[in-house]
Amino acid sequence: MPVRDEKAVGLVLVTYGSAEDLPPFLESLPAAIEPLTLKVVAVDNASNDDSAELVERFDGKVIRNRENVGLTRAINQGARELETDWILVANPDTRLTAGAIATLVETARSDDRIGVVGPRVSRLDGTPYPTGRRFPSIGVGIAHALLGAVWKSNPATRAYFGNPATTVSDVDWISGCCMLFRRSAFEAVGGYDERYFMYFEETKIALDLHRAGYRVVLDPTVEIRHREGGSTRHAPFRKVRNHHRSALRFYVDYNRSTPWILFTPLVAAGLIVRGSLSMLRTALARGR
């Protein structure tokens, strides 16, 4: 077994039409990783722009897929190319702050039971982006799905998002836009569940880590910025379809051994209705 560099972090970067987002993301990496070193592997899901070339000019290794194989499969592809003890999965539409990666590593090193740690996330305008969320109960999930888009401060959505953490805290799951994994934990759960093309993939791997006895941690002392929906801007209808399909899949995975599994047909019907309405809103918005 090769000796690993304890000061190296491996970054898995999945690109799909990401050329607009990549320059500021890549520019933020050197200050974010110091004093550690970074090894970058990008997996390009058949972009039709120069995403892959931008990463190569940054001295990153690029794997070019001939088709879009999905986010989870691409992340697992990239992780297999790395031999670092730490695996950072970050979206190209994020901006990492100075010391962000190094601090997350320091937090993860404080306890061998920490399987993954993530930062506090803000949108580009500085407003909070929800992370450190709860696994939703069926009641909270249904109410959030129905009310979240039209009444953002409803009680169910507030319960789902939880209260913002002010100290390093254990949470149910963290935003997939920036996750630092302990390699041994990542491998213990088999990486990302490739049944999830995208959406809820971070929720599922957090669930897997919890079930394997690892901690899922949010470190709010670290902040990053996130431009929402980077790659999905190019395929909004696929976004809606994948989101609702993954939501149903997670409901089944989360409730498989509980009586709530009996409500799967009802949840599926609700998601079909909600997904249809989302498709209609998307079509109307694009028409305008």
Domains parsed from the chain with CATH numbers:
8-228 (3.90.550.10)
* pLDDT at position 159: 78
pLDDT at 46: 96
What residues pair up with 276 in beta bridges, in sequence order?
none
Which residues in the chain show pLDDT less than 50? 1, 3
Report how far residue 66's alpha carbon sits from residue 52's, in angstroms, rounded to the nearest whole number.
12
Question: What pTM was computed for the model?
Answer: 0.91
pLDDT in tens, 66-81: 999 999 999 999 999 9
- For residues 88, 94, 95, 96, the Cα torsion angle rounded to the nearest 10 degrees is -20
Cis check: omega of the bond before 23, within 30 degrees of 0: no
Can you give the pLDDT at residue 144?
77
Q: Report how far residue 125's alpha carbon sits from residue 102's, in angstroms, rounded to the nearest whole number.
A: 24
